[in-house]
Structure 1
Amino acid sequence: MLYLAEVKKQIKGFIGGAKTELKLLACQHNDQTWSAVPGDETIACDEIAQAGEGALVLVNLSNNRQLQGKPELAGIELVRQLQKLSRLLEKTKDQQEEIEQWKQSLSIQSEELTRRQMDMEARLEQIDQMQEEFQELERQRQEMEANWQRFRAEQERIEQLHRQIGPIDWNSPQVGKVQAIIGRLFANLDRATAVEAQIQSAREALERQQTLLKNHLQQLEQEKASLEQRQNDINQHSEAIKTRKQELESLVAALQESQIQLQVRESLLTSKQELLERTNLEIGATEDLRKILTGAGDTQSKQQVDIKTLENMPLGELQETVKNLQADFDKLVRFVNDQEEELSLQCQAVAELEEKLKTANDYDRFDLESELAEEQERRKMLDETLFGQRRRLRERQAILSQYLKVLRRRQGVMEIEDNLQQINLEPILLQLKEKKRNAQQDRQRQEKEIEQLHSSIQELRRQIAQQESDRAVKTQELQRQEANWEQAKAALSELQSRIKLYEEALTPLQSNLTESRQKVEEVARLFSSVEQPQAIA
């Protein structure tokens, strides 16, 4: 399992070995999420050359807390996690803005639906009123049909009476009956006059209803034409919004790309500044080491040996002491030579990375900078280690030289310097000189690169500010267009509902009105055909 740990303590041994104590801070789960490690759990591992106390590293531990693989610096992973978190926050912000837009759209649609409901209720009241008027006309039609049936019955009775009585004898006893029948006929004539008036009234009411219905039908045709025009406008508006969204997405993608480039260059600038600081420290350490090596007499003068004690020491014991010092000195010489060889290889690795860095692009540069920083940190630690080892070697050489002088003098040998193992410092001094010259060239190059990075970062920041301004303007414009589009869609939906309501209400009304007019005309025609025989009679 992967853990994030903090370097708490590094304990160095006498000649190179070291142990590092790590405090576990957080662990990564299978679903790529992180959680804090409770308590102050620590583990021990070998020395981490590229990390000092307080640095954050990534370690891979088994279930029994055994270290697997080498610890790695956590800087790159933290930057990656921060970028992921930043994108997640940006996405959450966009979703919140989209939710707010939907809330506003739903509020507008709710208001439109309320207004449309009120309008529909008013229309329904008008339709109910028209239905009541039609019902009244239907009742009058039924009354006319009933009157018509009575007229037919009276007409048949009169014809039957004519057949029964034949020619009228005004002196016969049947005159009274005839007069009674005539009286009933005159009463029916009065009733027929009333029926005729009702027919005329029904005709006038039907004409008024037909005029009103015609006006509504004309309004329906106008709204159908308006519906088609609004539908075309909404389609054009939808295409314009789609184009705006594509432009905004392109602008957002460009803005994100610029922000990523800015983060990369800022990280690169930080690495460059740290690298420049290390280079300055390296130049100072190299100069200090050169002074120490060229000032070997000062080092020797500081080593105080009790000559009187050596003069009084038994010769055999002095010989044994010199032998042990000589063995320790030879061992230290071999160790320093191995360290010098390792430092040379490390310097070669740093030089190769610097050459790769010169031709790397912006994306590879970040990884190369991190790797170069790690290699330079190792080189720095080797320098610091060799710095102390060289000084210690010079001190051991001075002590051994004084012991040998006393021993050879007591043995009667006066020339002893030629027999002492001397260290040829000339190659080291030449190497230090070359190293200092390379470091000064690196410092000039790094200062120039830092200056270029400053300029490019400022330009990127101006570009990002302009892109953010353009995005804000385009976002507001898109929101305004979408709000207008939603309002137009609501108005179109209202118009469609109104047209559908008109069609559902007016079509049966027109049918009923036509049917009622036909029946009224039929009653009037039949009434006229009945009225003519009565007038003749």
Structure 2
Amino acid sequence: MLYLAEVQKQKQLMSVKTDLKLLACQRGESWSAVPGEEIIPAPPDEANKYGEGALVLVDLSGNRQVQRINPGRDLVPILQNFSRLQEKYKNKEEEIEQWKESLTYQAQELNRREMEIQARQEQLEQMEGEFERFEQQRQEIDSSREEAERLREEIDRNRQELEGAWAHLRGEQERVKQMEAEYQPKTAIDDDQAHRIQDLLNRMYEAIASPQAVQEQLNLAFEIFGQQQADLDKHWQQLEQQRSSAQVLQDRVDSQGNNLQNRWQQWEQDRETLAQARSKLTVQHKDLELKQEQAQKLSLQLRTQEDLLQQVQRMAAMSSDVKIGQKIDVEALEKISLPELQTIVQSQKQELEKAKRFLSDQEEELELQRQTIAELQQKIRQAGDYDRPPLQAELADEQDRYQILEDSVVGSRRTVREREEIFSQHQRVLRRRQGMPETDVQDNQKIDLGPVLTQLESSRQQLAEELQKLERDIEQMRLNIQQAQSMIDHQTQEQVNQRQELQTSEQNLLSQRALVAETWGRLKLYEEMLQPVQDKLNELRQRLEAIAGMLGQIQESGDYQHHAIAEMRKIFFNIMPSHLQQQLVAS
């Protein structure tokens, strides 16, 4: 079985004991921690291969014996696999979060839909109640229509009877005229004829139809019609109010649609502007890469120039056939006094000896540093794996010190050479003024590298200035790119947020449009339910008005009949015997 273990070392009297502390155990594709502290001894041949605290993979047999130890680098595939699993798990968590957000949004949408459905059910129930009331009103209208039909039939029947009575009256009038013409010479009629005529006139008067009962029923029908029309007018008023509210909602939804369309257009323009900014940023990145490549080339040239300058300086410092000092003003030295010149030469000699002593001390220190490095290298070759890392770190520090000392020694050597050349030139002038022969004739045969060093230093300085300027330009370009990138990232995030907000607004707008369409459909259904009822009421009103007109005609006809009978009674009274007139007056 494979275990992850930590190497532990304990120093004993004459040796070092190496143990393995088991940390985790592999079971299939997963790892689990080892409970407690389980330590097993490491094999002697493997003990010195690993340092204190090193992580290794240990393969143990069934009796807890070490079969094989693998170095810690074999952990890399396991850690990589763990990293992939962790990344995969992270992606799964992100997907789960996205699903949670989606399910939350869907749940909210379902709740909103459920509330809308409940509201619509309540509206439908209300409409069903109103429809039931309409049905009741329709039944009342039908009953009123039936009652009006019955009244109309009764009026027709009364009118027919009245017409028959009127025809009978006209016949009796004709008979009365005949009788009047027949009995014109007579002064009176007998009692039997008078009673017969009186009975006939009474029956004729009683036969005249009275429309009072029909008028009462008609008034009641008009009252019922007025109540139903008032109720229906309320519904029409509610319909108009709901239509006005629906129109306001429609206007608001249209305004929101236009506003959303304008916002989408603005979002598209912002996206194009952002794309242009990204293109400009890409161009800036290309320019920055070119500048960086140019800076790398200048840096390489500068390092090459510095290396060449250092090599020339080393060569000038190490070689005695080379002059690197600057020429002195011989004419000025010729003009000063001889004691003053001797003083200058003596001072230069002391400074030269001081510089040589300092150089000698540096060279001794450099030699000691070289010996220290050699000793450390020997220790590293002999040290074990546990002691080697700190020795290597110490060696790196000592090598850095050696490089610094070597550069300082090179500079000191150049300074000594320059001082030697200046001292030599002053000494030659002094000896010449003292009348001594010139003994140092080799200076004229030395190669003067001063101009070369000056030119190299000037070229290096120019390259350094160009490199600094280019680096400042690169830094400014990098700063501009960072600002542009930050602005683009901010605008990109704003674009994403605006897109989500616009999509949400678009979903809300679609829901509102569906609600408006449903409202208009409900209003249309409401109107379709009200219009037939209104049509029937209008038809009933026309019939009732027609019946009222017929009653007016009947009333007028009845009044005319009453007037005719009254005239006939007046005529009959004149031709009656006197004793019958007295009886009639007395009665």
TM-score normalised per structure 2: 0.37
Pair member with larger Rg: 2
TM-score normalised per structure 1: 0.40
